């Protein structure tokens, strides 16, 4: 059964339909569980306010749970003609249950329905990113315990500057990841509002119990204003992607460092050989593809973010069809973030430090600032000490 929810007796032009639906029906396959969970809460609420009787609620809840099981086993499908999961699910409910299926959509619209499913997905995914980041911090700490005390040169402007250490370097990323988690938590709190019950963006002609569904679904509060609910699609998405892009930026920097610091010419850090790849032609190559992909993925995430932000601009309030296209970068963005954090942990569990090369790198110039401060300790004003020591390094020309 592939009746559209908005069927009014005419068929949409096939090519137009293909163009509009795009791969939305396929993307929805990642969200079916969340849509069912939201529908269960909605059905229970319809029971409370007298739209459904107890038996109808029970039938709907049971069938929705069946769909979740089907989906978990890979046996629930959404066809392109059905457009999306909402249609596929309502069609199935009506097919299996008749009347109750035709009542499930009372008091809601796909507009608040998709927002609810997405928001449940975002909340789960944000929590997973936070938990993976905590595991990553654990991996970093283990790495630092093992190698942290090793001294090596610190660089500025890609030039040796002053002495640093593996622990200092790792610690920077640990602290940064902690701040990333703060940012993720801050965004989580903003996102943690229930959109369910705002219908198409202007409320519903019948009075719903929005507090009940919010509670059932574990939202911290109800997002009251229905126009704001619609407005926040695209907007919350942008903040989510921004927050996870900050994790990606850290990986970009880790990778940028390690690509240079593990060049044989410097050799401070080393990847195990089974973390490297070869060339199809040059037998000598062991390439840090893993690091290059980490570096590049920051830009991929930025593209997702700018896609969402671009799509959301210059649109009036009220749902606009444009906003459907933010679903893909969101699903892709979370998937990329999770994969990246996992591979980041793996990296720190396997990364090695070459003590000998680190020591060799600590050439005399790295201690120039220390020489200068020896003069300061002897009472010379800082700027005079700088000038005196500096002469040594400018005369090389």
Minimum separation from the CB atom of position 379 to a copy of itself (A): 10
Binding to a copy of itself, residues 317-336 (CB under 8 A): 317-325, 329
Nearer to a copy of itself, 13 or 131 (CB): 13
Separation CA 203–CA 198 (nearest Å): 4
Residue pair 130/179 in contact by the 8 Å Cβ criterion: no
By CB under 8 A, residue 356 contacts a copy of itself: no
Among 1, 2, 20, 218, binds a copy of itself (CB under 8 A): 20
Among 73, 75, 356, 377, binds a copy of itself (CB under 8 A): 377
Inter-axis angle of helices 85-97 and 110-147, nearest 10: 120
Minimum separation from the CB atom of position 54 to a copy of itself (A): 17
By CB under 8 A, residue 378 contacts a copy of itself: no
Nearer to a copy of itself, 80 or 373 (CB): 373
Query: Which tokens is 16 given?
Result: 């137009």
Separation CA 89–CA 34 (nearest Å): 12
Separation CA 319–CA 86 (nearest Å): 17
Among 127, 182, 352, 359, binds a copy of itself (CB under 8 A): 182
Query: Which tokens is 128 given?
Result: 């997973």
By CB under 8 A, residue 207 contacts a copy of itself: no
Separation CA 82–CA 29 (nearest Å): 12
Minimum separation from the CB atom of position 182 to a copy of itself (A): 6
Residue pair 78/30 in contact by the 8 Å Cβ criterion: no
By CB under 8 A, residue 43 contacts a copy of itself: no
Binding to a copy of itself, residues 258-287 (CB under 8 A): 259-260, 263-266, 272-287
By CB under 8 A, residue 29 contacts a copy of itself: no
By CB under 8 A, residue 145 contacts a copy of itself: no
Radius of gyration over every alpha carbon of the chain, rounded to an integer in angstroms: 28
Minimum separation from the CB atom of position 75 to a copy of itself (A): 23
Separation CA 302–CA 242 (nearest Å): 8
* Segment lying near a copy of itself (by CB under 8 A), choices 26-34, 109-117, 118-126, 128-136: 109-117
Separation CA 77–CA 75 (nearest Å): 6
Minimum separation from the CB atom of position 137 to a copy of itself (A): 13
Give every CB contact of residue 22 below 8 A, 6+ residues apart in sequence: 324, 325
For strands 151-156 and 159-165, give the pairing.
antiparallel
DSSP SS3 for 269: strand
User: Rounded to the nearest 5 degrees, what angle is found at the Cα of 311, between the Cα atoms of 308 and 328?
Assistant: 50
Nearer to a copy of itself, 61 or 260 (CB): 260
Nearer to a copy of itself, 69 or 277 (CB): 277
By CB under 8 A, residue 351 contacts a copy of itself: no
Among 37, 196, 199, 353, binds a copy of itself (CB under 8 A): 199
Query: Which tokens is 136 given?
Result: 């990553």
Residue pair 117/34 in contact by the 8 Å Cβ criterion: yes
Binding to a copy of itself, residues 48-107 (CB under 8 A): 51, 86-87, 90, 94, 99, 101-106
By CB under 8 A, residue 202 contacts a copy of itself: yes
Minimum separation from the CB atom of position 257 to a copy of itself (A): 5
Question: Residue 155 pairs with which residues in a beta bridge?
Answer: 160
Minimum separation from the CB atom of position 189 to a copy of itself (A): 7
Among 30, 162, 211, 355, binds a copy of itself (CB under 8 A): 162
How many CB atoms within 10 Å of residue 348? 20
């Amino acid at each position: 059964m592939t009746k559209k929810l908005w069927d009014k007796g005419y068929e949409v032009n096939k090519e137009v339909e293909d163009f509009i639906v795009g791969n939305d029906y396929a993307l929805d396959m990642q969200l079916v569980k969340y849509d069912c969970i939201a529908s269960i809460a909605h059905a229970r609420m319809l029971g409370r306010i007298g739209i459904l009787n107890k038996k109808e609620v029970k039938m709907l809840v049971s069938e929705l749970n069946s769909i979740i099981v089907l989906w978990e086993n890979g046996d629930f499908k959404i066809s392109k003609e059905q457009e999306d999961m909402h249609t596929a699910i309502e069609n199935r409910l009506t097919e299996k249950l008749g009347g109750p299926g035709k009542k499930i959509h009372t008091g809601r619209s796909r507009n608040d329905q998709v927002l609810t499913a997405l928001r449940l997905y975002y909340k789960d995914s944000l929590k997973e990113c936070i938990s993976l980041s905590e595991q990553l911090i654990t991996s970093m700490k283990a790495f630092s315990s093992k190698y942290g005390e090793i001294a090596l040169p610190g660089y500025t402007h890609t030039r040796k500057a002053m002495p640093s250490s593996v622990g200092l370097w790792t610690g920077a990323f640990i602290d940064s990841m902690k701040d990333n988690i703060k940012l993720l938590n801050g965004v989580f709190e903003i996102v943690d509002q229930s959109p369910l019950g705002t219908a198409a963006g202007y409320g519903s002609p019948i009075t719903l119990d929005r507090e009940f569904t919010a509670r059932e679904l574990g939202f911290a509060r109800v997002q009251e204003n229905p126009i704001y609910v619609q407005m926040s699609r695209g907007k919350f998405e942008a903040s989510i992607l921004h927050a996870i892009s900050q994790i990606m930026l850290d990986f970009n920097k880790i990778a940028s460092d390690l690509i240079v610091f593990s060049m044989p010419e410097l050799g401070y850090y080393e990847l195990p050989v089974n973390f490297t790849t070869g060339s199809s032609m040059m037998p000598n190559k062991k390439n840090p593809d893993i690091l290059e992909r980490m570096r590049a993925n920051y830009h991929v995430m930025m593209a997702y973010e700018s896609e969402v932000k671009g799509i959301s601009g210059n649109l009036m309030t009220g749902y606009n069809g444009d906003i459907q296209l933010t679903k893909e970068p969101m699903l892709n963005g979370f998937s990329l973030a999770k994969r990246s954090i996992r591979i980041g942990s793996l990296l720190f569990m396997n990364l090695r430090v070459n003590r000998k090369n680190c020591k060799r790198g600590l050439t005399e110039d790295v201690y120039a600032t220390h020489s200068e401060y020896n003069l300061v300790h002897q009472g010379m004003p800082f700027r005079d000490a700088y000038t005196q020591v500096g002469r040594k390094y400018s005369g090389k020309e």
